[in-house]
Chains A and B, each alone.
Chain A
Amino acid sequence: MSMEAAQQTFIAESRELLVNMEAALLTLEKTPHDTDAVNAVFRAAHTIKGSGGVFGFDALVEFTHVMENVLDDIRAGRVKVDADLIALLLACGDHVSLLLDCLSVKDSAAAFAAAQPESHELQAQLNCYLENEAAGLPQVHDDLAHDADVQRIGGGDTVESDAWHISVRFGHNVLRHGMDPLSFIRYLATLGEIQSIFTLFDGMPDAAAMDPESCYLGIEIDFVGAVDKATIEGAFEYVRDDSAIRILPPHSKVADYVNLINDLPEDKTMLGDLLMASGVLTRNELDEVLRLQQRLDEETNADNPDPLAHTQRIGDILINQGMVQSELVNAAIGKQDQIKQHKVLEASNIRVHAGKLDELINLVGELVIVSASVGLSAKRAGNIDLLEAASTLRRLVEEVRDSALNLRMVPIGETFNRFQRVVRDLGRELGKDVELVLSGIETELDKTMVEKINDPLMHLVRNALDHGIESPQQRAQSGKSPRGQLRLNAYHETGSIVIEVADDGGGLHRDKILARAIERGLATADQPLSDQDVYQFILEAGFSTAQTITNVSGRGIGMDVVKRNIEALRGTINIESEAGIGTTIVLRLPLTLAIIDGFLVGVGKSAYVVPLEMVFECIELSQQDRLRVRESGYINLRGEVLPLLRLRDVFETKGEPSKRENIVVVQYAGMQAGFVVDALMGEYQTVIKPLGKLFEKLSGISGSTILGTGEVALILDVPALVQKAVGSETSKDRPALEHRMLERR
């Protein structure tokens, strides 16, 4: 991997870490004592700093280092998590993201220089937290911070407990010299709080050999106090010469504990348990100890042929002695397994450049076309073997196509999750308490689509927060919970992905919108308009009914951008609203932009493709209906009104219609319409080729494809055509029809 490529990977991974960090910070805001969340934030900052160092991005390293220090203090419980700190850390996350941006631009040195004032500003704020806490505990601190740095370079994880661990094995002559271990414990108790003591007497010989004047005792103490190592050492000064004393500062490396366990004379497993029972090692750290112990065991086993000697694990004895409940240990082991599985999961993902995937999809597209042409040639040749081979080829190509397209599918959850932050920040800015509820996050859609819906979604979310959801006071007045709710939902429906942005706010004011539309000349007062039509006006450029313009929205810019973006993706926007209950904006987008299953129909000499997922059924247009249809533009389909659209008329095809015409019934967004065509030509795999700029404004056509014969077929823009069919009915003063159409949803 070249340095350039490695740097790209670094940036991509750092961005992922920042996303995780943001999520963890938001969790932390809700549950300030969530140690997992604190650790996740710390890991993110730590990893970015570490990798940044490898590439020599000093500005980044310097900044994340300060962050890391504060986070380390949070982990240790020295700094309290509050809303201000979370806000600051979120801002820091954004700044790290900015610094990463600096790496991607051409003149990164200048970009870094530009970002520097903000770096300093944030660092100064972070340092406030460090200084506050340094004032409380002066001496220990430098020492510890230094220790911690050394540990980090070593890469070991540190334990969470903020207790000193003191391990003493008193010399045999201590009592004879007139000193009593008790007095040390009593003295220590005056310096701080003794969390736990375990007294060990494994060194005591049998009754006959035991000298009552010798000391056989050992103690393991967990001690919390604002002291430095010298003070603790001082407490044991008189026995230092003939006793074995080990002092581990708070947040020592797990490995240090393992060393301690191995150094002490007593049974190793028992000691390990004791440390955990005393609370100095947590469940998480138990995992680490288990792992380290296993490694040590493997090393020792190499020169020890008896495997049984090492089979008992720390943790087993824990249960045997009843020191902790077995669930606790099981939970720890379960967690370890989870971590393992997670690792496996991680390893099964590979990072591929999106360009390579696009290339693959393009090739598959060509393959689909060629396979269609092979099938056609085989049919003409009439060779049975060839036909069979061609049909096998077609089936395989279909499978290849599906799996290739699948490669680009990603769950929408990631996109949705980003809005947690947006909702939080905006809610604060606007003084509204809003909860974001996500559902359907596992719904998949094309990667390129994800990138393109981000901006429209952002607009919609901001709008919903600003205009949709009322202030807590207003909500309370109308008898709603003061906490607003914004829902993002996604699901698949007939070849489309549907994304809903719903708020439980005041709803749209139909009359206000209509009045404004008439004022702007978008509608006339006597025009019969459905609610749906009225709501669509808010998507027009420069349309706003907001009385006050806020920072967030209300300038009437945005919704038209949303509309443009969604339409560029061949999608549609539906708005549902109920006064006092809320507004739901429904986006319908095609699942993929590359290849679809199509249904080929013929009109005159031309062929058209209807996306197969939207085809509901095909029926024959009977002779007696034919004439009537020309007049009325609808038929009675099993008691329902079905508006019809003669494609021959729509595309002004010349020549006589064939003797028998057919109706293709299509369904879109809950509405049905029939296309009258000359011939039904069956299913066809369609590789979508975009139309050139020249044809962009062409209505009714969404793209083109190449048939096996090399001819070009046009892909019908079903949503637009259905709208046209239903619309033409309404314009003939048939509001009842449209009403029925809407009702059917």
Chain B
Amino acid sequence: MTITLTEAGKDASKLAVNGALTIYEAASAKAALLEALTKTRELEIDLSGVDEIDSAGVQLLILLKREAVKAGKHMRLAQHSAASLEVLDRYQLASYFGDPVVLSPDA
């Protein structure tokens, strides 16, 4: 798993998650994601590169959303990959995140 900051700014940042977001990556992902959130007011997370995600990964996204709301910030999920979409669907969490879901061509 790699987390790359594609755009950084005080007002808005974008980062892309690539590879797997599972319990094995959870610890490192938690630190990286939370750190990115502290540095900006609007964070967009590109999920197009996520090819595997499990409950631990979902939990992290939930945590991030909750922290953002708590701090009065915005956190968005974008470019959902098929894998991430399937999991969010299973948990019926799409409405919790409230992001528009665009199906990527390979979905």
Q: A: which residues have CB within 8 A of B?
A: 175-176, 180-182, 185-186, 196-199, 201, 204, 207, 210, 212-213, 215-217, 219
| Closest A residue by C-beta to B28 | A212
**In the complex, what residue of chain B is closest to A185 when comparing beta carbons?**
B90
Q: A709 CA to B79 CA in the complex, in Å?
A: 105
Q: How far is the CB of B72 from chain A (nearest CB, A)?
A: 15
Ordered nearest first, which 4 A-B pairs have the shortest CB separation? A212-B26, A199-B91, A212-B30, A197-B92
How long is the Cα–Cα vector from A212 to B28 in the complex, in angstroms? Answer: 9
| B8-16, B43-51, B56-64, B99-107: which lies at the interface | B56-64
Bound form: Cα–Cα A180–B53 in Å: 11
Residue numbers in B under 8 Å from A197 (CB-CB): 90-92
**Is the beta-carbon distance between B56 and A182 smaller than 8 angstroms?**
no
Determine whether B55 belongs to the interface, using a CB cutoff of 8 Å to chain A: yes
CA distance A189 to B26 in the complex (A): 27
Cβ-defined contact, B23 with A175, below 8 A: yes
The reply to whether the CB of B29 lies closer than 8 angstroms to some CB of chain A is: yes
* A213-B54 contact given A182-B87, A196-B92, A207-B63, CB 8 Å threshold: no
In the docked arrangement, what's the CA distance between A497 and B27, Å? 87
B3 to chain A minimum Cβ distance, whole angstroms, is 14
* Interface flag for B69 (CB, 8 Å): no
- A176 contacts across to B, CB distance below 8 A: 23
Give B28 Cβ to nearest chain A Cβ, in Å.
9
B56 to chain A, nearest CB (A): 5
Binding site for A on B (CB under 8 A): 23, 26-27, 29-30, 34, 54-56, 58-60, 62-63, 66-67, 87, 90-93, 96
Q: In the complex, how many angstroms separate the beta carbon of A236 from the nearest chain B beta carbon?
A: 14
Given A175-B23, A182-B54, 15 extra CB contacts under 8 A: A175-B54, A180-B55, A182-B55, A186-B90, A197-B91, A199-B91, A204-B63, A210-B30, A212-B27, A212-B30, A212-B56, A213-B26, A215-B59, A217-B55, A217-B58
With both beta carbons as reference points, the residue of chain B lying nearest to A212 in the complex is identified as B26
- Of A181, A198, A201, A210, the contact of B92 (CB 8 Å cutoff): A198
Task: Output the least CB separation between B81 and chain A (Å).
Answer: 16
Task: Assess the B90–A210 pair: CB atoms within 8 A.
Answer: no
Q: Could you say which of B55, B91, B93 has the most chain A C-beta atoms within 10 Å of its C-beta? A: B55
- B contact patch SS: helix
Residues of A within 8 A of B63 (CB): 204, 207, 210
Q: Distance in Å from the Cβ of B96 to the closest Cβ of chain A?
A: 8
Given A198-B92, A212-B27, A204 contacting B59 (CB threshold 8 A): yes
In the complex, A212 Cα to B23 Cα: how many Å? Answer: 7
A181 near B34: Cβ-Cβ < 8 Å: no
Q: Which of A175, A196, A198 contacts B55 (CB 8 A)?
A: A175
Which residue of chain B has the shortest Cβ distance to A208 in the bound complex? Answer: B34
- Cβ of A215 and Cβ of B55 under 8 Å apart? yes
* B90 contacts A217, C-beta separation under 8 Å: no
The smallest beta-carbon distance between A196 and chain B, in angstroms, is: 7
Report A519 CB to chain B, min CB distance, Å.
82
User: Given A175-B23, A175-B56, A217-B55, do A201 and B30 touch, yes or no (CB 8 Å)?
Assistant: no
- The contact sample of 22 A-B pairs, CB cut-off 8 A, is A175-B55, A180-B54, A182-B54, A182-B87, A186-B90, A197-B91, A197-B92, A198-B92, A201-B62, A204-B59, A204-B62, A207-B34, A210-B30, A212-B26, A212-B56, A212-B59, A213-B56, A215-B55, A216-B59, A217-B55, A217-B58, A219-B91
The answer to whether A201 and B55 touch across the interface, beta carbons within 8 angstroms, is no
Residues of A within 8 A of B26 (CB): 212-213
Q: Which residues of the partner chain A approach B29 to less than 8 Å between Cβ atoms?
A: 212
For B56, what are the chain A residues with a Cβ–Cβ distance below 8 Å? 175, 212-213, 215
Q: Kindly state the separation between the CA atoms of A378 and B102 in the bound complex, as whole angstroms.
A: 100
**Please, how many angstroms separate the alpha-carbon atoms of A185 and B58 in the complex?**
14
B77 to chain A, nearest CB (A): 15
A201 to B54, CA, bound (A): 15
Q: Give complex CA distance A182, B52 in Å.
A: 13
Cα of A362 to Cα of B67 in the assembled complex, Å = 83
For the complex, what is the distance from the CA of A219 to the CA of B90, rounded to whole Å? 11
Residue on B nearest A219 in the bound complex, by CB: B91
Q: Nearest Cβ distance between residue B62 and chain A, in whole angstroms?
A: 5
Interfacial chain A residues near B67, Cβ < 8 Å = 207
Task: Return chain A residues, CB-CB under 8 Å to B92.
Answer: 196-199
Q: With the chains together, A204 CA to B61 CA distance in Å?
A: 12
Closest chain B residue to A210, Cβ basis: B63
